[in-house]
Amino acid sequence: DTGVSQDPRHKITKRGQNVTFRCDPISEHNRLYWYRQTLGQGPEFLTYFQNEAQLEKSRLLSDRFSAERPKGSFSTLEIQRTEQGDSAMYLCASSPPDRFDKLFFGSGTQLSVL
Amino acid sequence: AQTVTQSQPEMSVQEAETVTLSCTYDTSESDYYLFWYKQPPSRQMILVIRQEAYKQQNATENRFSVNFQKAAKSFSLKISDSQLGDAAMYFCALYSGGGADGLTFGKGTHLIIQP
């Protein structure tokens, strides 16, 4: 069990650029979640996959955001035309089958949009 | 919509003393789970303790215990024999089951341990 892995740890980009983050969940976990955490706040739910199916999307997930989990393993989160308000830490979490109450988090990707 | 409120932005405690972090929540669901997560400077969210709403007995994990008051929708965390390694942000979180909307987190309490 190597834990949930996120890449990169930090990303600095200019406004208007596209960025993509990757999350590798724990191998036997079929559920994968993306959260966003801004300074001084708790994480906010963005979206959730069960295997390759994206089952829930928060209204926080504007049409500039897209997430995929093509083979039910790793997931990517892409932000197009980044804005300064997108600056935040993006956290990924995974959970085992039928154990939605046992989330394991990665260390996050810190995004700074200049 | 469900909400989680942590009214203490920061708490300070002397090493080896006991501290209690407060959390209130609101949900219309009857079946739910409550959690306390710790987020140290490394940023990784670490589960400290969890409580199923249908269980009346308060959860305990070593030095960590909760006081779950279902009628009052209150879920406080007690840390006994505080250690320097306990210093972190602590988040209270609620999950109503079914996968919908994931966890709802509070804004967190910054816990400082005075040596």
pLDDT per position in chain B (115 positions), as tens?
Answer: 789 999 999 999 999 999 999 999 999 888 899 999 999 988 889 999 999 999 989 999 999 999 999 999 999 999 999 999 999 999 999 988 655 567 899 999 999 999 9
Residue of A nearest to B5 (CA): A42
Decide: helix, strand or coil at residue B111. strand
Instruction: Give residue B71's Cα distance to chain centre.
Output: 17
Please check the confidence at residue A58 and state whether its pLDDT lies above 90: no
- Identify the residue among A31, A36, A90, A103 best suited for mutation to test binding to B, counting B beta carbons within 10 A and taking the highest: A103
The helix/strand count (H/E) of chain A reads as 0, 11
pLDDT of the residue at B98: 56
Binary contact (A45, B108; C-beta < 8 A): no
Measured CA to CA, the distance from residue A110 to residue A87 in angstroms comes to: 8
Measured CA to CA, the distance from residue A86 to residue B64 in angstroms comes to: 35
**Chain B CB contacts of A101 below 8 Å:** 33, 35, 50, 52, 95, 97
Tokens representing A98? 């039928």
Sequence-separated (6 or more) residues with CB below 8 Å from residue A40 = B107, B108
| Number of inter-chain CB pairs under 8 A, A vs B | 61
pLDDT of the residue at A101: 77
Binary contact (A45, B93; C-beta < 8 A): no
Tokens representing B22? 């407060």
Binary contact (A42, B91; C-beta < 8 A): yes
pLDDT of the residue at B96: 80
CB B17 within 8 A of CB B113: no
The per-residue pLDDT for range A70-110, each reduced to its tens digit, is 988 999 999 999 999 999 999 999 998 878 778 899 999 99
pLDDT of the residue at B101: 62
DSSP string, B39-87: E-TT---EEEEEEETT--SPPEETTEEEEEETTTTEEEEEE-S--GGG-
Residues A31-59: b if buried by 16+ CB within 10 A, e if exposed = bbbbbbbeeeebbbbbbbbbeeebebbbe
At residue B109, φ and ψ (nearest 5 deg) are: -125, 125
A63 confidence band (pLDDT: 50, 70, 90)? very high
pLDDT of the residue at B70: 94
Binary contact (A102, B46; C-beta < 8 A): no
> Mean pLDDT score of chain A, rounded to an integer?
92
Residues in B whose CB is inside 8 Å of some CB of A read 4, 33, 35, 37, 42-47, 50, 52, 91, 93, 95, 97-108
**What percent of chain A is predicted at pLDDT more than 90?**
74
Measured CA to CA, the distance from residue A30 to residue A63 in angstroms comes to: 25
Please check the confidence at residue A10 and state whether its pLDDT lies above 80: yes
Measured CA to CA, the distance from residue A44 to residue A91 in angstroms comes to: 9
**Chain B CB contacts of A58 below 8 Å:** 101
A60 confidence band (pLDDT: 50, 70, 90)? confident
